[in-house]
Amino acid sequence: MSVKYDSIFYNENQNSNKNSNINARIKERLSPTTIAYITRLKQHVQNIDIHLYGSVINFTYFKNNSDVDCCIIYHDEYTKNKLVQFVTEDSIQFHIKLITFKQLKLSCPNYKNEFADVYCVYFDNGDRIDFTLIRGDVGPLMKIQHDNGIMYMILLYIIKWLCYYANVISKDIFVLLKKKVFVIKHYFSDITITVLNKTNNKDLDS
């Protein structure tokens, strides 16, 4: 499940009351930095579709702790190059301390392979936006990635609650348990995820 970014800000009058309430809740979760960054990105690269998914659109979101997951759909290499240039170079006016990159390959016996580039942008104020760049459209394997299912979301909520609210587990243990949840999910969905390339594009503290 994902929510189109434009529908949250530009098409509210066309939505049902239920969707309007959901969109209003999502909008409240987006920090001014996140909104300003994505707005500037859309102005810089216009021929793209941005979808939000993950905790920011469901009940596993924890204020001041959860990041924002975005899926950006582009249609040609020129657009992708503009996207990458903005993320790695042209967004210098924002207070960014780190940008990481990894290229993923999703495989499953019943489907053809899917590829995605993931850029994680860490801001000085603690905000984080994860951008998954996909050419053409979201394929079936990526849709499985975006839809955790109620059982996995409950597990993630419990782990987050124990870390962020109850403070009974450390951040390192939280990360380990979260990885275990997704390993189990990938096992039962028969999806293999391979990291083809992983780098730190820019460390502004060094």
Is 46 inside a domain boundary? yes
pLDDT, mean over the chain: 89
Note down the domain range covering 82: 3-138+192-203
CA 99 to chain centre: 14
Is 57 inside a domain boundary? yes
Q: Is the pLDDT of residue 20 over 90?
A: no
pLDDT at 205 (0 to 100): 47
Is 92 inside a domain boundary? yes
Is 173 inside a domain boundary? no
What number of other Cβ atoms are within 10 A of residue 61's Cβ?
Answer: 18
Q: What is the pTM of this model?
A: 0.88
Sign of the dihedral through C-alpha 7, 10, 16, 17 = positive
What number of other Cβ atoms are within 10 A of residue 26's Cβ?
Answer: 19
The string of pLDDT tens digits covering residues 90-145 is 888 899 999 999 999 999 998 999 999 999 999 999 999 999 999 998 999 999 88
Query: What percent of the chain is predicted at pLDDT more than 90?
Result: 73
